[in-house]
Amino acid sequence: MKILVAGGDGFCGWPTALYLSNQGHDVAILDSQARRTWDDELKSNSLTPIESLENRVAIWKKITGKNIDIYKGDLTSYDFLREVMKQTKPEAFVHFAEQRSAPYSMIDREHAVFTQTNNVVGTLNVIYAIREMAPDCHLIKLGTMGEYGQPNIDIEEGYLRVEHNGREDVLPYPKQPGSMYHLSKVHDSHNLMFACKTWGLRVTDLNQGIVYGLHTEETMMDPGLVNRLDYDAVFGTALNRFLIQAAIGHDLTVYGSGKQTRAFLNIADTVRCIQIAAEEPADQGEFRVFNQFTEDFSVLDLAERVQNIAKEEGLQAEIGRLNNPRVEKEDHYYKAINTNLIDLGLEPHLLTDDVLRNILKTVIKHKDRVIKENVMPQITW
Amino acid sequence: MKILVAGGDGFCGWPTALYLSNQGHDVAILDSQARRTWDDELKSNSLTPIESLENRVAIWKKITGKNIDIYKGDLTSYDFLREVMKQTKPEAFVHFAEQRSAPYSMIDREHAVFTQTNNVVGTLNVIYAIREMAPDCHLIKLGTMGEYGQPNIDIEEGYLRVEHNGREDVLPYPKQPGSMYHLSKVHDSHNLMFACKTWGLRVTDLNQGIVYGLHTEETMMDPGLVNRLDYDAVFGTALNRFLIQAAIGHDLTVYGSGKQTRAFLNIADTVRCIQIAAEEPADQGEFRVFNQFTEDFSVLDLAERVQNIAKEEGLQAEIGRLNNPRVEKEDHYYKAINTNLIDLGLEPHLLTDDVLRNILKTVIKHKDRVIKENVMPQITW
């Protein structure tokens, strides 16, 4: 299958592109390199030293013989996007190409406006390009579990059957996002649902949990294929961040009580979920929503697990309780449904001590690259 | 009370600014004049000849002695908005300043992207400006009943109590908007709810029905104060459009079966609702939602009522059944709640035959100004 991976140079996009390529799909990458420029802006870096996108695909070609074409440009440029669609004629369009950090979106007004326009306009352009150039193309769009917020009822997959005053309907699941970034994904979801209903587009919206891990089978084939690993307070996600903090002897930065519960998955499951969605596409006109995660943990649970594993490796990791830099519920009900992908064959990689130990070992290897100033949260809301 | 009316040169904004001024409030108008440029773009016009904004406020001052300051500029320019906030220090910010036509937003990709960025960025800027410069200022934001779509259950005012698997919560009412424009208002609502929860802003979101009518007591004080009246297939709304079609002997353009039911209100009630919201503000941190309409009608009902009134005036108006240019449900359940504003003292102007007759008479007076090419719908989705 011809698959275009937008954002294919990023933390999720790169291993996904390799995995799909390795599964025999004909993969092309569209990427603006924006993620790398945000490292420059924030004076931050990937813990792992990553090659240029050109080198990455050249190494992949050398090792596997498989070709991945690169299209460098931005989804917010419609002319560029049309040209890519014309040249690639994708059957599936995997869309990772958004600004994906909540703290980045909350830096100030400019970053909020940038995040919302970048994400919403990019996705609008994708909708229009598919409609204009490849109406059968299946759009696989990355959303986030954070779109739902923390309701006091079970979180269903995209829709909720409601009985009210003696009548019944199945309605879009109400959204209560907690940052300008999460809001942008909610806006996307509404736009996509409209495009399916109105123009018969086929879309799978993957409400992804927080991704941890680093390696996949493909990224381990060569050091030059290594995935990026974010640890700073802006782009680093909880578990990876804790592991790096343990490695450098920094307190694990738990925000508030740490009782906040979130949905998680291993990067190895992210790539498999995209494959499942691509190979079992949504129907024409269907706006299909999968909750893409495998387990849920409280933030404090994760910190304690990291602390224990670190101790086994001779590292003394303290749990530091920070005033929560965010306005969010700390004590809340959390139960989210994730059966759709399981039913389609996902076999979760669970968070075992071995998994934690393996990430920690990679992290220790690169720990001298950590820029310590970036570890503590500076952005509050 | 110091009240800033953004979009105060438009169909709803102008009579609102005059009404609030006449009620003794200290009113300023912020307006980009964008609505007038869209007339130029579409080669359309207001049925009523309207004065420049400068002349309008000069006439108002001459008649009433009341001053209305003008700030010409666009909400998407944050520097401009900050300067206006600094000079006016508003206690209430009434926000009409959005692109408000569904067909305009559906012309093509560019108009969709424009509508969403213009509306979403403008409103984001307002949120940030209030937070930065006037955190006590009450934002009164115009939404639309179209945000809800046509669910098969009663439409509540912004929130829905849900029981699910034995648990309960009050959640944002699920939204199913039917155009790129309506989507932009849904995006705004989510952004505003977040700003209230996170920063303690006070916001009233007015989900307004389709407005009909033209005059208010204030706009009738002088011909130079007359309100604009839109009849074209892009900006004209159902009832006003039918009246103008009757006046010029054009078939009344009912889309599809005409069984689509919508919520309506008289422009005279719009201005009063804004006053009520301003004088009974939301609490700090409260995202308050009112459904701002007084009656609901099917489109065919309205056409038949216009036909009857036209006949009394010696006009032969035929009801023309057009293929529906929009993807929308025609046969659907529709019951929306609107008690919040009534409870605060709104006394609705209902759609009587007298009301219809009065609008029709104004319309007949100006019917030579109609540009006939603009009456039939050209934009489909």
Closest B-chain CA to A190 = B183
Q: Is residue B163 part of a domain?
A: yes
Q: Is residue B366 part of a domain?
A: yes
- Return the beta strands (E) in B299-339 as ranges: 319-322
Nearest to B183 by CA among B128, B119, B107, B232: B119
Closest A-chain CA to B132 = A109
Q: Does A112 touch chain B (CB under 8 A)?
A: yes
Residue of A109, A174, A194 lying closest to B171 (CB–CB): A174
How does strand A92-95 pair with strand A2-6?
parallel
Q: Is residue B381 part of a domain?
A: no
ipTM for the predicted complex comes to 0.97
Q: Is residue B217 part of a domain?
A: yes
DSSP class per residue in B244-262 = HHHHTTPPEEEETTS--EE
Can you give the pLDDT of all 381 residues of chain B as single tens digits?
999 999 999 999 999 999 999 999 999 999 999 999 999 999 999 999 999 999 999 999 999 999 999 999 999 999 999 999 999 999 999 999 999 999 999 999 999 999 999 999 999 999 999 999 999 999 999 999 999 999 999 999 999 999 999 999 999 999 999 999 999 999 999 999 999 999 999 999 999 999 999 999 999 999 999 999 999 999 999 899 999 999 999 999 999 999 999 999 999 999 999 999 999 999 999 999 999 999 999 999 999 999 999 999 999 999 998 999 999 999 999 999 999 999 999 999 999 999 999 999 999 999 999 999 999 999 999
Contact A116, B120 (CB under 8 A): yes
Q: CA-CA distance, A47 to B298, in Å (whole number)?
A: 61
Number of compact structural domains in chain A = 1
Q: Does A356 touch chain B (CB under 8 A)?
A: no
Q: CA-CA distance, B202 to B140, in Å (whole number)?
A: 9
Q: What is the CATH number of the domain that holds B104?
A: 3.40.50.720
Q: Does A124 touch chain B (CB under 8 A)?
A: yes
Q: Which residues of B are catalytic?
A: 144, 181, 185
Answer whether 0.95 is exceeded by the pTM.
yes
Domain containing A141 equals 2-374
Q: Is residue A149 part of a domain?
A: yes
Q: CA-CA distance, B289 to A322, in Å (whole number)?
A: 35
Nearest to A192 by CA among A207, A208, A180, A177: A207
Q: Is residue A80 part of a domain?
A: yes
Those residues with Cβ within 8 angstroms of residue B119's Cβ, 6 or more apart along the chain or in another chain: B98, B99, B181, B184, B185, B187, B188
- Return the beta strands (E) in A19-137 as ranges: 26-31, 69-72, 92-95
Q: Is residue B111 part of a domain?
A: yes
The single-letter DSSP state of residue A278 is H
Check B177 against A197: CB less than 8 A apart: no
Q: Is residue B295 part of a domain?
A: yes
Nearest to B322 by CA among B262, B277, B257, B373: B257
Q: Does A173 touch chain B (CB under 8 A)?
A: yes
Q: CA-CA distance, B103 to B107, in Å (whole number)?
A: 6
